[in-house]
Structure 1
Amino acid sequence: MTKLCICQICTCGKHRCPHRPYGIIGKGDQPCAVTEYRSEFIPREGGVRESYKPDYKIQASTVPLDDETTHKHDFIRYALDKQRSYKPEEVYTPHGEFDSLTSYNKEYTPKDGERARPIRHDAQRKISAPFEGDPTYRTDYRKWETGRTEPIRHDAGYVPPSDPFRGESTYTTDYLKHQGAMRQPIRPDQSVLQSKDPFDDRTGYRTDYISHPQQERFQRAKEQYIPNQVALDSLTTHRRDFTPKDADRTRSMKPDLQGFRSNAPFDDATTNKTDYKPWEVQPIQTHRPDQYRANPGEMDLNTIYNSEFTPKPLSKVTAMRPVERHGTDAKFDGNTTYLGDYRKWPGERPPAIRSQAGYEPPSMPFEGLSTYKGHYIPHDAGPQRSFKPDSTAYRSTVPFDDATMYRTEYTPKEIQPCPATFLDTPRSGFVLHHVEPTGHKFYQPQHELLQTQYQQQQQYPIAV
């Protein structure tokens, strides 16, 4: 069933749907201009909203500038004394001799030992007598007489088994699942490493170290703090200049949270509820494969290889060995075709070609006439004619033949009016099908409507 809008029916480009006022011919897939927001939310009359931005005014003062700064007022100049020199603390050096005997010097004493001798092997002894004996290779690996390996051929064809196929593989029948116990950890027993003897914590440091009394460290006496007797002037620039002012509370710039309210009931009729209707869903039918059926009759297992390639009597292939060459005691003949045919002929260098006599200048005086002047004689010629066409156009007395191909071939046709012009009239070929809630109209061709009615009459005839 075909449902068309006025934009799709129009062929002249002048009729457009109010829902698509900017549509173009042939581009009916553009979005509809009428939306729920434009139809439901009607603009209300209202004035210009007042700005909450405060007025910008410059706060000017006529009081003269006071150049007395905080630095000039608070920081008073005091007399400075000479800085005392700082002497570092004296390093305390204990008296007596230092006992440098450690456990290393006590336990590891120098020992007397001989120098290690280099290990040298005796030289290999050579035996002058020849070796007599058979190696393991000759005694164990003997040469056996072997014949040609015969090809493996099946004498009879394939015989299918008579037992029915059970569907069990060799892996399933041979490899059975056994219940095994839990694997024991490979971690060694920690009880072996434990000892019942008390821990011996007597080290060389504890036994050999002797604690000596240490004198007290020299401490310098701290200077006692003497507070200032002058009272502190706590008047700052901030307290003096920024005095409290009487001012009202700043008004809030936040707008009121009172939106537009309506007492009309909410229309919950959405496009999803009106257009998308629930349809009955049938369960998915699974495809069952066809049951296997064996072909009747016996299978001919006789192949072309078994029928054509039969065993043939063959003889052993003789080895292809090259013919051995025997040495010749005759004298070498060095005469070749080149030495016999191409003989050396006596030849000398050709003499240079030189003139018999020297240059002799002519005895006649030079006339000064060249070949160009003697052969090419100048001739008198007029100015060259211009090949530029005349400015006068070609004129003919024959009447103009205006019989063009367009006038002879293209005959005037009758212009069909736009079908959108006759909508909602008796001459229209389209019938109104339905109107959407948004006001969008859809039309159906009249011949499809008549065809649908005719099919319904044929399917459900009226009883007379």
Structure 2
Amino acid sequence: MTQLHSVASLDYGDGRTCVCRICECGKHRCPGLKIPFIGETTYRNEYVPKEADHDQGGRKKQVLHSTKAEPGHFKTTKQEAAELIEGKHIHPAESYKPRHEARENLPFDANTTNRTDYPGYMPEYRRTKPKQEPMPSLQGIYDTTKGAMDDPIKKLSANSKLPKPPKSFKSESTAQPDLPFDGVSSYMVDYPAKEAPPARSANMNKGFVPVPENRDFQTISSETYVIPPTCLQRKCPAAFVSGRPVSQDGHIKLSVYNIPSGIVS
């Protein structure tokens, strides 16, 4: 018996049901009857086949090109332009350049658009830097190594003439001995220490627990043990239906009172 249906909803009227009705997962279906369709459909009216010309042998039509070119097919642009003026009397074009006249070679002294559009500007003033003369070199040799520069300090320390650092201005009364802190801080109050969990050995060593004496050794099953619900799994009842022949109406039928429960331990 399934959880989704009752006996009345599963029964066909003869005390039997089918795989379609007891299926709970939607994956199990009865094969059904394959009857040819008789009647008119709208499929052929909505999807009209295209008219295609099928050649014999499945060969594509070859494009036939003419072997002779038409007259004037290979003419150039110059030949086409010459045909337009063929047989016409055309006067030559006159030159529009100014006539050559002898003029005095004088410099050009007038204003041009270039001078008007792009006037001159004064260059930026650049200050001349004075020439730096090198410092006069002094006579003698200067040793600037670290060892040579530390020699005067070493001589003063050897003669105990180095100035001593000043004493501390702190009073000696403020000095306190280093003692360990013995008190309760605010951190310890806000974050108390957690109790450590007991060791595993402490939980295991509980001693021997005696078995009750009212045991029945003649049986192999016990009614006191109940399978916990977490160990039970439920599957589709239609998956447990054994192979059965298909009935005349195309359904795999079985008795209403023989429906698998679908519970797997």
Tell me whether the two structures share a fold, i.e. TM-score over 0.5.
no
TM-score (norm 2): 0.19
Greater helix share, structure number:
2
Higher CA-based Rg:
1
Higher RCO (C-alpha under 8 Å, 6+ residues apart): 2
